[in-house]
Structure 1
């Protein structure tokens, strides 16, 4: 049996004491990389989340980015958000043990006992329908969750691994099980395509069959979370009919 704490073959790692943002560092390093590389930092001074939002990164929390050169279209590259979510759930389950509940919130959050414990940010560069590099940024509240007063109105409540379980995991010790889990799911994607990733994600999805609100940049949709499409888009059953939404923020 493969050691879940072993470092995956063919994957590099780059550890930093401090950086502005691991995703920004990934973009700077990408042109010279020859293999998938994890960039880990003990401290980020300008960490960010989706849509340019700030991401709180206090000491003891985890922040890292995997930078890679995926084949395929930008839409296929974006499916790595589901790979990353599954890997995060596996790694958190491994370190937390059986007494926690982990669920995946579309499009890119992981919930621990109902609270947001981790987020994923994908950024890519390329031209002509090709992706030159993909950066998968991951932040995990290992030690501390942001208090409610600093969250956006309507944002999902936050949680931390320490707060929910009493377990204190040093951030550098979380990197190997996460990288190992991502490697396993990435190999599934490369061998079998997105279908088994989609199935596994749906098995852990939060709020399937329940009412949710999806907000795009211009519209708000309310309906029942039906499933995700074969490409990963959100499928919502609304009073106006079935909606397939490629990108949005979801509120419960």
Structure 2
């Protein structure tokens, strides 16, 4: 399928063009649109192409991605059975405030996982944008600014996990939801759950700002109070994970004092 103009099942302004794709569940949040594609290069790229058409918050889901991308330009393919979606939000916020949506999204993901598996203890949150399952990475988040939209890209290993040779050295082992829990769920069914959870947390964020999101995130933070390594392209900082501040920065306690880190890859 041509990734620039794929056929889609759409809810909202356009009629569905594929009978094989499900309609949103009864709990689908009011005010949110949904586009479902069979195959695209990247849901983030598709979101950028369609930004001018979107009149409200819209989820864009693909059953397959052929040229997905992650932090620092890393690329991978998303096989069928895994979850690949981007939420497009129109915003007029400062970049620092918009970036806090990674915490909103990761909390929503954790809540969706718990709702799907009924397991409260298996899922943890890794700063700045990953969700862990039994200590392995099961989901990741990437934020991009597209004009006056914020694009929240989300990838979840629902059915398949990459091999160890597909991740960088010292990275956490990739895991899948099915492989770790035995629970199988389709991407469209998972989207129904995630969209509901995200909408509730987005409303909380808009009403009360970051404080309650930060508290909830820290309650499920991986390795809080333990030594970790934060690595950028230029250097690395080793210290005890002490906090996440009111701007979402990672706070490490090091021999030289407390260090605030805005962006980095974290290693355990």
Structure 2 length as normaliser, TM-score? 0.89
User: Residue 173 in 1 paired to residue 189 in 2?
Assistant: yes
1:100 CA displacement: 5.0
Which residue, out of 58, 64, 77, partners 1:37?
A: 58
Shift of 1:216: 1.5
2:44 counterpart of 1:23: yes
2:180, 2:192 → 1: CA distance?
Answer: 22
State the distance in 1 between where 2:231 and 2:177 align.
28
Q: Tell me the equivalent position of 1:133.
A: 149
- Uncovered stretches (5+) of structure 1, i.e. residues with no partner: 127-131
> 1:42, 1:59 within 8 Å by CA — same for their partners in 2?
yes
Q: Distance in 1 between matches of 2:168 and 2:101?
A: 26
TM-score normalized by structure 1? 0.94
Name the CA distance, whole Å, in 2 between partners of 1:211 and 1:55: 30
For 1:242 and 1:5, how far apart are their aligned partners in 2?
A: 48
Residues 1:88 and 2:109 are matched in the alignment: yes
- Of 154, 162, 166, the match for 1:150: 166
- Give the aligned CA root-mean-square deviation in angstroms: 1.2
CA contact (8 A) 1:5 1:180 kept: no
Whole-angstrom distance in 2 between the partners of 1:121 and 1:98: 25
Aligned length: 244
Q: Unaligned regions of 5+ residues in structure 2, if any? A: 1-24
Provide the residue aligned with 2:34 in structure 1: 13
d(CA) in 2 for partners of 1:125, 1:29 = 10
More contact order relative to length (CA 8 Å, sep ≥ 6): 1
The equivalent of 1:246 in structure 2 is 262
- Specify the alignment match of 1:229 in structure 2: 245
Q: 2:70 aligns with which of 23, 36, 49?
A: 49
Q: Where in structure 1 do 4 or more consecutive aligned residues deviate above 4 Å?
A: none
Shift of 1:125: 3.2
| Matched residue SS, 2:63 | strand
Tell me by how many angstroms 1:72 deviates.
1.6
Structure-1 separation of matches of 2:211 and 2:121 = 27
Question: 1:117, 1:213 → 2: CA distance?
Answer: 20
In the alignment, the residues of structure 2 paired with residue 165 and residue 100 of structure 1 have an alpha-carbon distance, to the nearest angstrom, of 12
